[in-house]
Amino acid sequence: MKSTTFKKLIKEAVREVIQEELKDILLEAVRSPQPQPVVEHIQTPAMPLPKSPSMSPQDRRQAYQNILGDMQSAFTTQNVEQPLQLTGNIDTASPQGKLPDGNVSMDQIMGLMNSK
C-alpha cells in the first residue's frame, strides 16, 4: 500500500471519529438543563468607614524618619566590608542550596550589566 493512500485512509478515519464525538458532545450539551443565572447581592456597610487622617508632606516625611530611626545610617554602601569572593563548590540551585556569605560590589554589578 502506498503511503499517500495510507494517509488518506487515516485522515478519513480520524475525521469520522471526530465528527461522531462532536455529535455526541453537542447532543449532550443540548439535552442538559440550562444553568440558572447568577444573581449577586452586594451589601453596603452599615456605618461609614473612618477616614484616615490627612497629613502634610512635611508631617509624613517626619513620621517616616521617626519610623526608620537609626536604621537609615545602616543602609549605605559605606558599610560594605569587601566585595563578594566566591570560592569552592557553591550550590545555589538545589533545594538545600544557599547563597554564599558576602556582598557584591558595584563594579561586579556594572561588569554583569555591561557584558550583555
Question: Which percentage of the chain shows pLDDT scores above 90?
Answer: 16
CA gap 102, 80 in Å, rounded: 9
How much is the CA Rg of the chain, to the nearest whole Å? 34
List b or e across 3-38, with b for residues whose CB sees 16 or more CB atoms inside 10 angstroms. Answer: eeeeeeeeeeeeeeeeeeeeeeeeeeeeeeeeeeee
In tens, the pLDDT along 1-56 reads 788 999 999 999 999 999 999 998 888 888 877 777 778 878 776 777 677 778 88
CA gap 89, 33 in Å, rounded: 64
CA gap 102, 82 in Å, rounded: 7
What is the value of pTM for the model shown?
0.28
